[in-house]
Amino acid sequence: MSLRMFICFISLLTAQAAWGEGALKDVEIDHSPAALRRGAATVTSVCLPCHSLKYLHYRDLLKLGFSPEEVTGLSMGNKPEAALLALMPPDIGEQTYGRVPPDLSLMAKAREGGPHYTYSLLTGFYQDKTGETNNHLYPSIRMPDILGWSSADAAQRAVLETQANEATAFLVWAADPRAAERKRLGYYTIAYLVLLTGLLYLIKRKVWARLG
Amino acid sequence: MAQRLIAWIDQRFPLTSFIKRELTDYLTPRNLSYWWNFGFLAGFLLMLQIISGVFLAMHYKPDVNLAFDSVQHIMREVNYGWLIRYLHSTGASAFFVVVYIHMARTLYYGSYRAPRELMWWSGQVLLILLMASAFMGYLLPWGQMSYWGAQVITSLFGATPLIGDEIVLWLRGDFVVGDATLNRFFALHYLVPFFIVGMVIIHLVALHHVKSSNPSGINLADKDNIPFHPYFTAKDLFGLGVFLIIFCGFVFFAPEFFIEAANNIPANPLQTPPHIVPEWYFLPFYTILRAIPDTLGGVVAMGLSILIFAAMPFLDRSRIPGGARFRPFYRAMFYIFMVDVAVLAYVGSQPPGGLTFKIGVAATVIYFAAFLTLPFLSRWEERWLRARGLPPALQALLDSETEPKPRREAR
């Protein structure tokens, strides 16, 4: 078997691994800077009352293009160096919901399906026959329908979809704030390696040509 | 000046003669294909893992209350910490990819046969050390999968007759995986790579004594051997470039590809994840473990499935050179075995269930049958090949080379 055939075979296998996650809504997440800032505003006002994002600090929000004044507004009296902790103390959260609401710093990559999970959860609430709120993705979830999805009409849902999308985009950023830097460095690295490997190939050809 | 310095060193240390003997005069078969590149790549990855690991250890804290946070500290606050950590986590998977290809090449071309048994066995020890290091390293991020993977694997030792519980307690240093376990795994994860380096040196000393095998499977005449440097340094470096392009593709654009989602949740001893899976490189062996209903039997089968490779020089009784290339039945068996390992890996990634369990059992039977039928198949195949006359390609090759003789010994 040639190396080329082998590489084709391996890429087929890895393509196969991308299957699955049927129950999740497969939406395109809008990662534009404006969407990220709106998502940050949504998360700090809607999620942060109960959930923490303890690996983020308010000053990190400056990297999203917020002005220092806007960050001060979002931080609700906290210092810029402060971590994004839940407004509700953990023991109150535990009393209210039976467990401390999970930290959201890594939520966008801590579930199978990644951002699609977050989005599908936020837009997965419905009212069952008894009028109780439940969730398609996470049955008998203790989290309330915070966006009001289950009681919204079609026009309202269009707005909420955007809101859930932007909040998800922010959580993706929060889970890996270095992603943009990483990809930028990646392009340079790969370009350099392609050039280097091309030169190494020429050297190899030249050296082996001596053998005749 | 430089010459005088080298002369000064040579008087006290065999520098020039070493380089001559091991690089510029070290004879290597010129027909080596790119499949012979993977040993060099494994050596490169060993260095990458040690260097990135040392830098990670400067920022990591082996404490159940701090470990998960310290990894996030590395990812977010440390300068290029994300790069060091992703190089290390992707490097672990790449190491196994490269080593498994290296092993498959050895099996295909029959490189394990005399006089290279000690190379094969030192490689077997390297594989086990690599697995131990990877297993202990996987606990360190202290995520859910880290914790429960270690919990499951260490509990397997409880299947040992009579003293099982004591062994598990001794391994963990506690009744469950906890702070004591994390600390000792960190210490051992830092130690084992140096054993690997030592074993690699033995592997290389053996290699330079018996010389490389080659695709033809017979020792080539001197005219077909070329110095390692510059020919194979150039070829290996080009191969390294190709490897790095693929590797960096993962590091920079899909670094979480090899990281389970559940490992981004801090370890929680009170909550078992719905589906505990080991890292992909352990999946075939994990299936063999689960295929046998009895725990002790499963553990023994899993151990044997890794150790049985060492028996290859005894199991393969054919004297036809050239590995699978000139041996149609061995070749067929090689491909069946490769597919079988892929099936085992797939079954291992699935939750235990009726049909997948049965497929896993069948694949386990085929796995061991491949080894255990080899002595008979290889003998019968040799008789069959000789009765039909050797393949013309092989006959031509044997004619064009001088009689296989012990290779010129440089030392």
In this prediction, residue B84 carries a pLDDT of 98
CB contact under 8 A, B30 and A204: no
* Contact in structure between B380 and B357 (CB atoms under 8 Å): no
The rounded radius of gyration (Å) of the Cα atoms in chain B is 24
* Contact in structure between B65 and B182 (CB atoms under 8 Å): no
pLDDT tens sequence for chain B (411 residues)? 899 999 999 999 999 999 999 999 999 999 999 999 999 999 999 999 999 999 999 999 999 999 999 999 999 999 999 999 999 999 999 999 999 999 999 999 999 998 999 999 999 999 999 999 999 999 999 999 999 999 999 999 999 899 999 999 999 999 999 999 999 999 999 999 999 999 999 999 999 999 999 998 888 888 889 999 999 999 999 999 999 999 999 999 999 999 999 999 999 999 999 888 999 999 999 999 999 989 999 999 999 999 999 999 999 998 888 788 889 999 999 999 999 999 999 999 998 888 999 999 999 999 999 999 999 999 999 899 888 887 776 777 667 664 544 555 444
**Neighboring chain A residues of B249 at a CB cutoff of 8 Å:** 186, 190
One-letter amino acid at A194 equals V
Instruction: For residue B14, say if its preceding peptide bond is cis, omega within 30 degrees of 0.
Output: no
- Is B203 among the catalytic positions? no
At B31, list the tokens.
Answer: 């027909």
Distances (CA, A) of A51 to A36, A55, A86, A123, B268: 18, 12, 5, 18, 18
* Contact in structure between B360 and B366 (CB atoms under 8 Å): no
Which residues numbered 273-292 in B keep a CB inside 8 Å of some CB on A? Answer: none
**Neighboring chain A residues of B252 at a CB cutoff of 8 Å:** 182-183, 185-186, 189-190
Choosing from B213, B235, B378, B381, the catalytic residue is: B235
B31 HSE (CA, 13 A, CB side): 15
* Contact in structure between B275 and B144 (CB atoms under 8 Å): no
**Considering only alpha carbons, which residue of chain A is nearest residue B226?**
A211
At B267, list the tokens.
Answer: 């370890």
In this prediction, residue B270 carries a pLDDT of 92
- Tell me the average confidence (pLDDT) per consecutive run of 10 residues in chain A, 212 residues long: 57 48 78 95 94 95 93 89 92 90 95 92 91 88 91 92 96 96 97 98 96 82
Global pTM value: 0.91
**Considering only alpha carbons, which residue of chain A is nearest residue B101?**
A6
Distance CA B335, CA B330 (A): 9
Domains and CATH numbers, chain B: 13-258+272-276 (1.20.810.10), 281-399 (no CATH)
The backbone torsions φ and ψ at residue A51, rounded to the nearest 5 degrees and listed phi first, read: -95, 150
At B106, list the tokens.
Answer: 């050895």
In this prediction, residue A16 carries a pLDDT of 46
In this prediction, residue B296 carries a pLDDT of 94
In this prediction, residue A159 carries a pLDDT of 94
Distance CA A179, CA B185 (A): 30
Distance CA B265, CA B143 (A): 5
Beta bridge partners of B260: none
CB contact under 8 A, A105 and B72: yes
What are the b/e assignments for B156-190, b being 16+ CB within 10 Å?
bbbbeeeebeeebeebbeeeebeeebbebbbeebb
The helix/strand/coil state of A99 is coil
Task: Give the minimum alpha-carbon distance from B259 to chain A in angstroms, rounded to a whole number.
Answer: 10
The alpha helices in B140-178, defined as continuous H runs, are 144-156, 164-172
Q: Residue A68, exposed/middle/buried by CB under 10 A (0-12, 13-18, 19+)?
A: exposed
Dihedral class, residue A59 (left if φ above 0, else alpha if ψ from -120 to 50, else beta)? alpha
What are the b/e assignments for A179-188, b being 16+ CB within 10 Å?
beebeebbee
**Neighboring chain A residues of B82 at a CB cutoff of 8 Å:** 176, 178, 182
**Neighboring chain A residues of B245 at a CB cutoff of 8 Å:** 190, 193-194, 197
In this prediction, residue B65 carries a pLDDT of 96
Task: Give the minimum alpha-carbon distance from A203 to chain B in angstroms, rounded to a whole number.
Answer: 7
> Of A182, A189, A193, which is closest to B241 when you measure between CB atoms?
A193
In this prediction, residue A9 carries a pLDDT of 57
Of A109, A114, A82, residue with least CA distance to A176? A109
DSSP state of B26: -
Of B279, B377, B386, B387, residue with least CA distance to B336? B377
* Contact in structure between A119 and A29 (CB atoms under 8 Å): yes
CB contact under 8 A, A55 and B72: yes
The backbone torsions φ and ψ at residue A127, rounded to the nearest 5 degrees and listed phi first, read: -100, 125
The answer, for A201 touching chain B at a CB cutoff of 8 Å, is yes
Task: Give the minimum alpha-carbon distance from B328 to chain A in angstroms, rounded to a whole number.
Answer: 14
Q: What angle do CA A77, A81, A85 make, to 5 degrees?
A: 65
Of A57, A51, A92, residue with least CA distance to A74? A57
**Neighboring chain B residues of A204 at a CB cutoff of 8 Å:** 234-235, 237-238
The answer, for B339 touching chain A at a CB cutoff of 8 Å, is no
CB contact under 8 A, A190 and B76: no
**Neighboring chain B residues of A189 at a CB cutoff of 8 Å:** 248, 252
Interface test with A, best of B83, B87, B102, B228 (most A CBs within 10 A): B83
Distance CA A106, CA B141 (A): 14
> Given CA atoms B71, A171, A44, A152 in this order, what sign does their dihedral have?
negative
One-letter amino acid at B64 equals V
Distances (CA, A) of A174 to A67, B45, B144, B258: 18, 31, 20, 20
* Contact in structure between B231 and B28 (CB atoms under 8 Å): yes
What are the b/e assignments for B340-354, b being 16+ CB within 10 Å?
bbebbbbbbebeeee
Of B190, B188, B178, B189, residue with least CA distance to B64? B178
The helix/strand/coil state of A173 is helix
Which residues numbered 68-87 in B keep a CB inside 8 Å of some CB on A? Answer: 69, 72, 75-76, 82-83, 86
Interface test with A, best of B242, B263, B268 (most A CBs within 10 A): B242
Choosing from B52, B93, B236, B305, the catalytic residue is: B236
